[in-house]
Chain A
Amino acid sequence: MLICDEYLTPASLTEAFAAMAQHRGRYRVVAGCTDTLPWAREGRAGDVNIPALIDITKIPELNELRIDERRVRLGAATPIQRFLDDAALGHALPATPRCAVWFADDQIRAQATIGGNIVNASPAADITPCLAAHDATLELASLQGGKIVKRTMPLGEFLTGPGKTQLADGELLTAVECDALPGYGGSFEKVGHRRSLVISVVCLAVLVKLDAEGRKFDDVRLAIAGIRPIPRRLREIEDFLRSKTLTGALLEEAADLPLDLVQSRTRQEYRRDVVRGFLMRGLISAAKRAGAHPDGLTTAMEAAYG
């Protein structure tokens, strides 16, 4: 059970930092709370007494969404469900709706936030590999000498291990910026024990951009998670595929590149098989959504991996 003496809902960043200063050493910043409340139960943290909970989801700045041709800026308190509800956002970040649909369930997505998923730094987080594929950069804010100071950091640097990040004491994750990739085909592959409310055993985010005829890879971005302490971009495969002509044989070759990706403690063989299957299925689905020419993908391959 999570017990607190005070539940604070600051209406601005300034108020949030004031609350953090006032309760220094005795507070916890919360957003969606979908992980915090189950954490404070028997078998995990048990009964937890935190004097002050500071809920940052009502800060307008943390709920902003800005989309232009090049970049997308998302406030850290953006609920995951927004990737599914906001068509313009899904268009600009094509892998995110595919990822969001696998995230927890419809109800938890309405509450859980992007920032919470990142700061939790679970190796099985679903949104982080997806954002990594979109080249996400994080904006971190802190109060220094009475002024709000911001720094930025790539997502890949921010995450340092399971539950570990470079977030400094007294610092808040305020926004996430990604490359806008309209025209890319996106896909997200995930497997767990069931389809809703499940922790990823393996998950993979895929983004594919093809040339005008849908025959050649202009760009590929891949990020895998669930099998390592932190998500990993698969740049070797991205580089291998870029500028090549899409064929089934090429995809098989890409999926068979000798990369030692699985660092899990259990079921490594199974996960290796899944990774290969996901690379095939993810690339095929993303290429189709990117407008692949029918010559590139045989029906046999689609039946085998689609």
Chain B
Amino acid sequence: MVDLRLEATVNGRKISRTAKPHQRLLDFIRDDLNLTGNKEGCGAGECGTCSVFVDGVLMKSCLLPVAKAQGAQIDTIESLAKTGELSVLQKAFHKAGASQCGYCIPGMVMAATAALRINPFADREEIKERLGGNICRCTGYQKIFDAVELARDVQNGRLPATALLETDTEDGEVIGKNVRRIDAPSKVSGKLKYAGDMTMPGMLHVQVLRSPHAHARIVSIDVSAAEAMDGIEGVVTSADVPGQDGFGVFVHDQPVMARGKVRYVGEAVAAVAAEDAMTAKRALAAIKVVYAPLAPVFDAEEAMRPGAPVVHDYAPDNITKHIPIRVGDVEKGFAESDLVLEETYSTQAIEHAYLEPEAGLSYVDPDGVVVVVSPSQNITHHRHMLARIIAKPISKVRFIMSPVGGGFGGKEDMIYQGMLALLAMKTQRPVRLVFTREESIISTAKRHPSRTTLRMGLMRDGRIRALDMRMVCDGGAYGLSTEGVMRKAAILAAGPYVIPNVKVDTYGIYTNNTPSGAFRSFGALQTAFATESHLDIAAERLGLDPFQIRRINAMRDGATTHTKAKLGTVSLTRALDAAEKASGWEAGSPTMRGGTRGDLAHDDVRPAVSLGARFAADGKGGKQEAAE
């Protein structure tokens, strides 16, 4: 390997260092220079968390071989607030509430800085366009665009610098006020350390061997060749688990690493700790696993049929959880109804796509406490589970929650923390694992895909008499949060509506797909999609306005739900009023409308996607006809 001698200027300081020829500029600034403000979100140029200036031009450092930086001037997020004072843009991000999880923010601040350098008068459309290479998963972008417009106006003197300060709080009063987030300065400056930014002296790097099979028996695992390699400090498999193996939010059906068989593509089989990640990666190739493939099952309804492949021995019917709810008599309700409608709805798996891929560190502290640092959304439960898995008293297990670079439910599962603890115990050195984006997508939970058959009986005036719902969800290979998701789905299946006769069955089913787990709304999305779509169809059939049919059935203050929850106040009708007003809704049944809608032509409706705002700008904040 021919190392490079890299001479460059980084954040105003000349550097002269050796670099590996295959390193990317991102690796060099993060690993070698320890400038961890810019992040790696995808490694493929899609997300922009790694955006840095190269000779004043913004580029994605994950796409730049480090040799391309030879002789260049590199400026990272750390260059913007070098004296400790935040830049105008950083202050504006703070003021506007533009940072939430914060992981995309260093790249976003860099892109915004570039946009306003190129056109200090850029309008909102041009700002959107110039920030097109950066993805944020939390904010929905509006607050980010607000922040860039605020910074632009302050820089141009249209607004005073005091516009960047907090103005709303008086006498320490914060409720109902627009307060700035106290953690925003650490995020807009790139100073906040996420797990993947943290290092420890003597730290080892972890890589994970994953299953290429959806369903297979593990005949044997031979790690001896990997263990014998130079630079390898430890290899672990399920055989290294000293206690009772198994984790999960409800049922502890998932081993730390595959035990006896693999149940989905991407399941962890073994983990290696080495002096560097490349060495660990090479060792993975030296682990010999013999698999005996088993018949897989990929469809939840097929998995429910007799004779289907069994994913877990404890659940021979592949049912992770069935939640039945019965109120009144639905058949009687249908008999009394003027209209009975039946439809089947389906929703797909969805990846959370938080900008921060999973990462964690583990070490054994001087008192023998096994410590795990990770962006876990459920550290107390993890601590209890890990204590049992590694057979230690709870006082000898500690979980530290690192800043979560986006979770949305996807970081509730103890998918990798167990492996890290085992490696820290085995090597007695700190260990760190940083997932790639691909690894994150292949191995962690998704939203439950669902298929819902819904039958609803209604009176001619729109009142719902009966609802019968059967929802089958693909829970994937392990239980994770499936039980809770099925419960919540069943609880919310009938919507916020008064329905005298209700029958609901929700099923979470084991298959050999990627496990499904917690995801924002936790089951409500799947059933609400069915119920609300159904109400729209019913409105069309009954000649009612879709708002109207919901008002007719809406629960009011003091209502009792189909699961016997007594509701003090119900805000549904107020929410409907507000939505109707805000949308400029054209009243009437869907059947009364022709081929065009009259309620789409107002300022709050987004125009069709286009690009080219920059062609119309004259660079002074005004507009002129596109002239080329």
CB-based contact B45/A37 at 8 Å: yes
Residues of A within 8 Å of B51, CB to CB, are 107
CB-based contact B60/A108 at 8 Å: yes
Please judge, given known A-B contacts A7-B67, A107-B133, whether A37 and B1 are in contact too, CB under 8 Å: no
CB-based contact A41/B64 at 8 Å: no
Residues of B within 8 Å of A264, CB to CB, are none
Residues of A within 8 Å of B62, CB to CB, are 37
Please judge, given known A-B contacts A7-B4, A47-B281, A197-B132, whether A38 and B45 are in contact too, CB under 8 Å: yes
CB-based contact B628/A107 at 8 Å: no
Say yes or no: is B252 at the interface (Cβ < 8 Å to chain A): no
Please judge, given known A-B contacts A107-B60, A196-B133, A197-B132, whether A94 and B628 are in contact too, CB under 8 Å: yes
Q: Which residue of A lies closest to B441 (CB)?
A: A43
Residues of B within 8 Å of A55, CB to CB, are 65, 67-68
Which of A62-70, A96-104, A150-158, A251-259 contacts the other chain? A96-104
Residues of A within 8 Å of B610, CB to CB, are 195
Residues of B within 8 Å of A90, CB to CB, are 628
Q: Within residues 25 to 55 of chain A, which ones have a CB less than 8 A from any CB in chain B?
A: 30, 32-34, 37-38, 41-43, 47, 53, 55
CB-based contact A110/B57 at 8 Å: yes
CB-based contact B63/A108 at 8 Å: yes
Residues of B within 8 Å of A106, CB to CB, are 58, 111, 114, 130, 132-133
CB-based contact A110/B58 at 8 Å: yes
- Report A63 CB to chain B, min CB distance, Å: 14
CB-based contact A53/B628 at 8 Å: no
Which of B90-98, B214-222, B488-496, B611-619 contacts the other chain? B611-619
CA distance A43 to B612 in the complex (A): 33
| Chain A 252-278: CB-based contact to B (< 8 A → 1; otherwise 0) | 000000000000000000000000000
CA distance A197 to B615 in the complex (A): 19
Residues of B within 8 Å of A53, CB to CB, are 21, 65
Residues of A within 8 Å of B21, CB to CB, are 4-7, 53
CA distance A197 to B114 in the complex (A): 18
Please judge, given known A-B contacts A7-B21, A43-B438, A101-B611, whether A111 and B64 are in contact too, CB under 8 Å: yes
Residues of B within 8 Å of A91, CB to CB, are 628
CB-based contact A6/B2 at 8 Å: yes
Say yes or no: is B228 at the interface (Cβ < 8 Å to chain A): no
CB-based contact A37/B58 at 8 Å: no
CA distance A74 to B133 in the complex (A): 26
Say yes or no: is B180 at the interface (Cβ < 8 Å to chain A): no
CB-based contact B65/A105 at 8 Å: no
CA distance A306 to B16 in the complex (A): 54
Q: Which residue of A lies closest to B1 (CB)?
A: A5
Specify which of A4, A5, A111, A196 is in contact with B132 (CB 8 Å cutoff): A196
Say yes or no: is B82 at the interface (Cβ < 8 Å to chain A): no
CA distance A30 to B1 in the complex (A): 18
CB-based contact A4/B63 at 8 Å: no
Specify which of A84, A97, A104, A186 is in contact with B133 (CB 8 Å cutoff): A104
CA distance A2 to B62 in the complex (A): 12
Please judge, given known A-B contacts A42-B438, A43-B438, A106-B114, whether A7 and B58 are in contact too, CB under 8 Å: no
- Report A219 CB to chain B, min CB distance, Å: 17
Q: How many residues of A contact B (CB 8 A)?
A: 42
CB-based contact B45/A7 at 8 Å: no
CB-based contact B628/A97 at 8 Å: yes
CB-based contact B628/A9 at 8 Å: no
Q: Within residues 9 to 62 of chain B, which ones have a CB less than 8 A from any CB in chain A?
A: 21-22, 24, 43-46, 48, 51, 57-60, 62
Residues of B within 8 Å of A228, CB to CB, are none
Specify which of B22, B58, B615 is in contact with A3 (CB 8 Å cutoff): B22
Specify which of A3, A6, A42, A102 is in contact with B611 (CB 8 Å cutoff): A102
CB-based contact B130/A33 at 8 Å: no
Say yes or no: is A242 at the interface (Cβ < 8 Å to chain B): no
Say yes or no: is B575 at the interface (Cβ < 8 Å to chain A): no
CB-based contact B65/A107 at 8 Å: no
CA distance A108 to B64 in the complex (A): 10
Residues of B within 8 Å of A71, CB to CB, are none
Say yes or no: is B578 at the interface (Cβ < 8 Å to chain A): no
- Report A22 CB to chain B, min CB distance, Å: 13
Residues of B within 8 Å of A9, CB to CB, are 67, 70
Say yes or no: is B626 at the interface (Cβ < 8 Å to chain A): yes
Residues of B within 8 Å of A37, CB to CB, are 24, 43-45, 62-63, 65
CB-based contact A197/B24 at 8 Å: no
Say yes or no: is A289 at the interface (Cβ < 8 Å to chain B): yes
- Report B255 CB to chain A, min CB distance, Å: 23
Residues of A within 8 Å of B132, CB to CB, are 105-106, 195-197
Say yes or no: is B609 at the interface (Cβ < 8 Å to chain A): yes
- Report A109 CB to chain B, min CB distance, Å: 9
Please judge, given known A-B contacts A34-B63, A37-B62, A107-B133, whether A5 and B2 are in contact too, CB under 8 Å: yes
Say yes or no: is B436 at the interface (Cβ < 8 Å to chain A): yes
Q: Which residue of A lies closest to B4 (CB)?
A: A7
| Chain A 224-238: CB-based contact to B (< 8 A → 1; otherwise 0) | 000000000000000
Please judge, given known A-B contacts A7-B22, A41-B44, A196-B133, whether A111 and B114 are in contact too, CB under 8 Å: no
CB-based contact B48/A107 at 8 Å: yes
CA distance A195 to B610 in the complex (A): 7
| Chain B 65-94: CB-based contact to A (< 8 A → 1; otherwise 0) | 101101000000000000000000000000
Residues of B within 8 Å of A196, CB to CB, are 129, 132-133
Q: Within residues 192 to 227 of chain A, which ones have a CB less than 8 A from any CB in chain B?
A: 194-197
Say yes or no: is B439 at the interface (Cβ < 8 Å to chain A): yes
CB-based contact A41/B59 at 8 Å: no
- Report B286 CB to chain A, min CB distance, Å: 14
CB-based contact B22/A34 at 8 Å: no
Please judge, given known A-B contacts A7-B22, A102-B611, A110-B57, whether A38 and B67 are in contact too, CB under 8 Å: no
- Report B323 CB to chain A, min CB distance, Å: 35
CA distance A78 to B227 in the complex (A): 48
Specify which of B68, B133, B612 is in contact with A105 (CB 8 Å cutoff): B133
CB-based contact B63/A38 at 8 Å: yes
Q: Within residues 471 to 524 of chain B, which ones have a CB less than 8 A from any CB in chain A?
A: none
By a beta-carbon cutoff of 8 Å, the part of chain B in contact with chain A is 1-2, 4, 21-22, 24, 43-46, 48, 51, 57-60, 62-65, 67-68, 70, 111, 114, 129-130, 132-133, 278, 281, 436, 438-439, 442, 609-612, 614-615, 626, 628
By a beta-carbon cutoff of 8 Å, the part of chain A in contact with chain B is 1-7, 9, 30, 32-34, 37-38, 41-43, 47, 53, 55, 57, 84, 90-91, 94, 97-98, 101-102, 104-108, 110-111, 186, 194-197, 289
Give 9 CB contacts A-B under 8 Å.
Answer: A3-B22, A7-B21, A38-B45, A42-B438, A84-B614, A105-B133, A106-B114, A107-B60, A195-B129
Given A53-B65, A55-B67, A195-B610, 7 new contacts (CB under 8 A): A3-B278, A38-B45, A38-B63, A105-B48, A108-B45, A194-B609, A195-B129
10 residue pairs, one from A and one from B, having the closest CB atoms: A105-B133, A196-B132, A38-B44, A7-B21, A42-B438, A6-B2, A7-B67, A3-B22, A107-B133, A105-B132
